[in-house]
């Protein structure tokens, strides 16, 4: 399976996190290419950020010339999903919020979201509402404070706080937890041993969803292990 995984933010650190999370899902023969746009916000927080990032994502897809069986949009705004689907109508295009919430819905029961910045909460709530899961959402918990620094380093900087927030969400009755935000890609797996309920990684959920529905388009290339992603 050949996937294009796009970080709609321009943070190289976040792109590396997303690449690592994606590559952890690779099977023999898969080729995953992870890219971020050449321009746009380092982190999408405001609607103005999102508007600029949407165009940047479309330009990134236009510029990618390799074979592709599906596209993952690795931001919780599902940034650029509609125009990218219009551009590549023959392959699945999945945003990580859609994939994460579909997984939470399938698991059933109340779920929670854990994230790293207060400024992200309104956008996450809007995506929950859009997905029709408001009644199932137990709450959105975030690290205290307004400043989180380099988005590529939030996993390291706030690991203990994020772990505690997951534990609290479990104690409150959540049946599953969504890690909210592209910068948290890959963290669900490292936190799983400390939490008795499923922790959902949007990037990995999106790859699983595409794997279930995408038909590889044979181009007669030999099968190989997943190639190092481009950044």
CA 46 to CA 52: how far, in whole Å?
Answer: 10
List Cβ neighbours of 43 (8 Å cut-off, separation of 6 or more): 9, 11, 14, 49, 151, 183
List Cβ neighbours of 146 (8 Å cut-off, separation of 6 or more): 117, 118, 119
Nearest by Cα to 45 from 120, 155, 154: 120
Domains parsed from the chain with CATH numbers: 2-95+206-213 (3.40.50.12500), 97-201 (3.40.50.12500)
Count of Cβ atoms closer than 10 Å to residue 164 Cβ: 15
CA 54 to CA 194: how far, in whole Å?
Answer: 36
pTM: 0.89
For the chain, which ranges sit under pLDDT 70? 215-231
| Beta bridge mates, 94 | 72
Q: What pLDDT is recorded for position 217? A: 59
């Amino acid at each position: 399976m050949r996937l294009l995984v796009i970080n709609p933010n321009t943070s190289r650190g976040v792109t590396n996190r997303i690449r690592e999370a994606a590559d952890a899902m690779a099977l023999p023969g898969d080729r995953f290419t992870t890219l971020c746009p050449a321009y746009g916000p380092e982190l999408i927080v405001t609607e103005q950020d999102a508007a600029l990032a949407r165009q940047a994502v479309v330009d990134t897809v236009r510029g990618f010339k390799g074979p592709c069986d599906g596209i993952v949009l690795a931001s919780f705004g599902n940034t650029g999903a509609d125009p990218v689907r219009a551009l590549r109508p023959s392959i699945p295009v999945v945003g990580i919020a859609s994939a994460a919430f579909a997984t939470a819905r399938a698991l059933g029961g109340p779920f929670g979201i854990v994230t790293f910045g207060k400024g992200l909460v309104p956008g996450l709530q809007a995506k929950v509402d859009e997905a029709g899961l408001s009644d199932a959402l137990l709450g959105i918990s975030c690290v205290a404070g307004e400043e989180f620094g380099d988005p590529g380093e939030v996993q390291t900087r706030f690991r203990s706080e994020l772990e505690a927030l997951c534990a609290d969400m479990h104690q409150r009755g959540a049946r599953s937890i969504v890690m909210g935000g592209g910068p948290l890609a890959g963290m669900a797996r490292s936190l799983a041993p400390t939490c008795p309920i499923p922790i959902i990684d949007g990037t990995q959920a999106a790859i699983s969803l595409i794997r279930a529905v995408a038909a590889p388009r044979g181009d007669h290339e030999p099968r190989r292990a997943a190639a190092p992603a481009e950044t």
